[in-house]
Chains A and B, each alone.
Chain A
Amino acid sequence: MTARLELILGAVFAAVLIAIGLSLGDKAVIDVLMRLSIFSLLALSLNILVGYTGLVSFGHAMFFGFGAYVFGLLMQTNAISIPAAAAVTLLATCVWGAVSGALCIRLTEIYFSFLTLAFQMLLYSVIAGWVSLTGGDQGLMGGIPRPPFLGIDLAQPRQLFVLTVIVSVLSALAIRQIVQSPFGYALRMIRDNAERARFLGVPVQRYKLQAFVLSGIFGSLAGILMSLYVSGAYPNFAFWTLSGDAIIMIVLGGITVFLGPVLGAVLFQFLNDYINRITEHHGMVMGVVLLVIVLGLRKGVLDVLDEWRQSRKPRPEAAP
Chain B
Amino acid sequence: MNFDALIDCFSASACVVTQISSGLIIGMLIFMVASGVTLIFGVLGVVNFAHGALYMLGAYFALTAYWVTDSFTVAVLAGAIGTGLFGVVFERLFISRVYGADVLSQLLVCYAFVLILDDAVKAIWGGDFLSMGMPEAFALPPLMIAGGFVPPFYAFLTAFAVASAIALAALLGLTRFGKIVRAAAVNRQMVGVLGINTSLVYALIFGLGAALAGAAGALAAPVRSATPGMGFDILIESFIVTVIGGMGSIAGAFVGAILIGMIRAFGTVGFPLATEGVTFAMMAVVLLVKPAGLFGKAGR
Binding site for B on A (CB under 8 A): 50, 56, 58, 103, 106-107, 109-111, 113-115, 117-119, 121-122, 125-126, 129-130, 240, 244, 247-248, 251, 255, 281-284, 286-288, 290-291, 293-295, 298
A56 x B103 contact (CB < 8 A) = yes
Complex A-B: 21 CB contacts under 8 Å: A56-B104, A56-B107, A106-B288, A110-B106, A111-B47, A111-B243, A111-B247, A114-B47, A118-B280, A118-B283, A119-B280, A125-B276, A247-B107, A247-B108, A281-B119, A283-B118, A286-B115, A287-B112, A287-B114, A295-B98, A295-B105
For the complex, give the distance between the alpha carbons of A122 and B113 in Å.
24
Q: Which 10 A-B pairs have the closest CB atoms?
A: A283-B119, A287-B116, A287-B115, A290-B112, A283-B115, A287-B112, A110-B47, A284-B119, A294-B108, A114-B239
For the complex, give the distance between the alpha carbons of A58 and B47 in Å.
14
Q: B120: CB under 8 A from chain A?
A: yes
A291 x B112 contact (CB < 8 A) = yes
A109 x B108 contact (CB < 8 A) = no
For the complex, give the distance between the alpha carbons of A119 and B277 in Å.
10
Greatest chain B CB density within 10 A among A58, A103, A255, A287 is at A287
Which A residues are CB-close (under 8 A) to B116?
A: 283-284, 287-288
Using A247-B108, A251-B104, A295-B109 as known contacts, say yes or no to A240 and B232 having CB atoms under 8 A apart. yes
Contact of A106 among B108, B232, B287 (CB under 8 A): B287
A109 x B119 contact (CB < 8 A) = no
For the complex, give the distance between the alpha carbons of A91 and B94 in Å.
43
Q: Residue on B with the closest CB to A51? A: B104
Q: B111: CB under 8 A from chain A?
A: yes
Interface flags for B260-300 (1: CB within 8 Å of A; 0: not) read: 00000000000001001100100110011001000000000
B243 x A115 contact (CB < 8 A) = yes
B103 x A121 contact (CB < 8 A) = no
Using A110-B47, A281-B119, A283-B118 as known contacts, say yes or no to A294 and B112 having CB atoms under 8 A apart. yes
Interface flags for B38-68 (1: CB within 8 Å of A; 0: not) read: 0000000001010000000000000000000
Interface of A is mostly: helix
Since A58-B107, A110-B106 are in contact, a sample of 9 more A-B pairs with Cβ atoms closer than 8 Å, ordered by chain A residue number, is: A103-B284, A113-B107, A118-B280, A282-B119, A287-B112, A287-B113, A293-B108, A295-B97, A295-B105
For the complex, give the distance between the alpha carbons of A129 and B240 in Å.
20
B123 x A281 contact (CB < 8 A) = yes
Interface of B is mostly: helix
A129 x B112 contact (CB < 8 A) = no
Using A290-B111, A294-B112 as known contacts, say yes or no to A284 and B120 having CB atoms under 8 A apart. yes
Which positions 70-121 of chain B face chain A at CB distance < 8 Å? 94, 97-98, 103-109, 111-116, 118-120
For the complex, give the distance between the alpha carbons of A40 and B299 in Å.
38
Which B residues are CB-close (under 8 A) to A117?
A: 236, 239
Greatest chain A CB density within 10 A among B49, B119, B291 is at B119
For the complex, give the distance between the alpha carbons of A288 and B239 in Å.
26
For the complex, give the distance between the alpha carbons of A97 and B55 in Å.
32
For the complex, give the distance between the alpha carbons of A107 and B292 in Å.
9
Q: Residue on B with the closest CB to A255? A: B104
For the complex, give the distance between the alpha carbons of A28 and B122 in Å.
32
Which A residues are CB-close (under 8 A) to B243?
A: 107, 111, 114-115
For the complex, give the distance between the alpha carbons of A125 and B236 in Å.
12
Q: Residue on A with the closest CB to B113? A: A287
Which A residues are CB-close (under 8 A) to B247?
A: 111
Question: Closest CB-CB distance, A116 to chain B, in whole Å?
Answer: 11
Question: Closest CB-CB distance, B54 to chain A, in whole Å?
Answer: 15
Which B residues are CB-close (under 8 A) to A121?
A: 236
Contact of B273 among A106, A119, A130, A286 (CB under 8 A): A130
Which A residues are CB-close (under 8 A) to B105?
A: 294-295, 298
Which positions 203-254 of chain B face chain A at CB distance < 8 Å? 232, 236, 239-240, 243, 247
For the complex, give the distance between the alpha carbons of A198 and B103 in Å.
21
Which A residues are CB-close (under 8 A) to B239?
A: 114, 117-118
For the complex, give the distance between the alpha carbons of A282 and B123 in Å.
11
B103 x A290 contact (CB < 8 A) = no
